[in-house]
Amino acid sequence: MCEFELVLSEAFKPREGQAIAAQLRSSLPIDQPRYYMRKSASDLPQFIELIASADLWKTTLGVACTAFITAYVARLGYRAAEASADFVAGLFKAEDVAPLAGTIMALSDARSQVIPKATLRIGLDVPNRRTPTILEISANDPADVALAISKFIQNVDQISEAMAREAEAGRVPITQASVSFSPDQAIELSWQYWLPDHNIGAHTIKIR
């Protein structure tokens, strides 16, 4: 996978999708946007989704995320609520953080094009592109978004390896696996899968 897959929910018009892709391409290699259409979509939350391989996430944003999270945690730990706008703006101006800052600004602009604001979903193409592993980000504050993306990218190898092992064991997600971070910064992966008796099973694993 050499480009990010950009998926937009149905509230985004094709012209908007092309504009979002163009803005993101200043920082990331983006494929042509794809649209996810649902019935009765007016009652459903809208989203912007970026899917890529672990290697592509690391190649494009790995250095920027490491630079951001190193400076941020050294000053504030993981307490995003204590970050001032000036402090975050200063980090975003750093040359090595620029790809991450550009990506977040482009995504923030894109999320604001629908009301209520669209959720951001970033993920890995594991076990495959049809059933990806997704971190959902509902936060709007740039510091919160940067921390979430940075923690995700710092752990993409662990997440990919864990989901590959689970798939080999027969626990392939029916739709997708969800990523979350516990208060102790451990990674939790949760999903549903088909049991041998054709019932649906739920499975959660924690990675430290």
Range of the domain at 21: 5-164
Is 96 part of a structural domain of the chain?
yes
Is 111 part of a structural domain of the chain?
yes
Count Cβ atoms below 10 Å from residue 51 Cβ, excluding itself: 24
How far apart, in whole angstroms, are the C-alpha atoms of residue 159 and residue 152? 9
pLDDT at 117 over 90: no
Is 173 part of a structural domain of the chain?
no
Is 72 part of a structural domain of the chain?
yes
pLDDT at 11 over 70: yes
Query: Among residues of the chain, what percentage have pLDDT more than 70?
Result: 94
Residues 92-111, mean pLDDT to the nearest whole number: 94
In this prediction, residue 128 carries a pLDDT of 87
Query: Among residues of the chain, what percentage have pLDDT more than 90?
Result: 69
How far apart, in whole angstroms, are the C-alpha atoms of residue 37 and residue 95? 38
Is 14 part of a structural domain of the chain?
yes
pLDDT at 1 over 80: no
Of the listed ranges 56-60, 135-139, 179-183, the least confidently predicted one is: 179-183
Q: How many structural domains comprise the chain?
A: 1
Is 18 part of a structural domain of the chain?
yes
- DSSP category for residue 44: S
